[in-house]
């Protein structure tokens, strides 16, 4: 199994930037890709972006493409989510998740972190 811990959330003013990190432990050698998601109260969980565990093939949801960047940090078995030009509607709990079966087909995120709160003020 895989354990994930997000960090880096906080309060930021609209237009600002924030960098989230997700540290993975356990059977990290089984990870195919890492994804970032967010969920605001009363709303469905939203996919933001993902990256292969090797750092290749980053991809993003259209809603954040150009503002958010997912990267693989080899140190500490982690991935990062860099968020620029933040808007109040970006306020949500942000989660990272591990996909272990994407190499065989569509991604299936079976392991999740506890989430980190991001609040963007107007």
Summarised one tens digit per residue, pLDDT across range 103-120 is: 888 999 999 999 999 999
Q: What is the DSSP string of 32-101?
A: -EEEEEEE-TTS--EEEEEEETTS---EE-TTTBTTEEEEEETGGGEEEEEE-S--GGG-EEEEEEEESS
Residue 81 phi/psi, 5-degree rounding, is -125, 110
Nearest to 49 by CA among 39, 63, 28, 31: 63
Summarised one tens digit per residue, pLDDT across range 7-41 is: 999 999 999 999 999 999 999 999 999 999 999 99
Is residue 112 within a helix (H) or strand (E), and if so which, with residue range? Answer: strand 109-112
């Amino acid at each position: 199994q895989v354990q994930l811990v997000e960090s880096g959330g906080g309060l930021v003013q609209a237009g600002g930037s924030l960098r989230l990190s997700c540290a993975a432990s356990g059977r990290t050698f089984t990870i195919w890709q890492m994804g970032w998601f967010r969920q605001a109260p009363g709303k469905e969980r939203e996919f933001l972006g993902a990256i292969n565990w090797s750092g290749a093939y980053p991809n993003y949801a259209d809603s954040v493409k150009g503002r958010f960047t997912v990267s693989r940090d080899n140190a500490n078995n982690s991935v990062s989510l860099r968020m620029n030009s933040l808007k109040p509607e970006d306020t949500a709990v942000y989660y990272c998740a591990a996909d272990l079966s994407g190499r065989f087909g569509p991604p299936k995120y079976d392991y999740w972190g506890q989430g980190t709160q991001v609040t963007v003020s107007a």
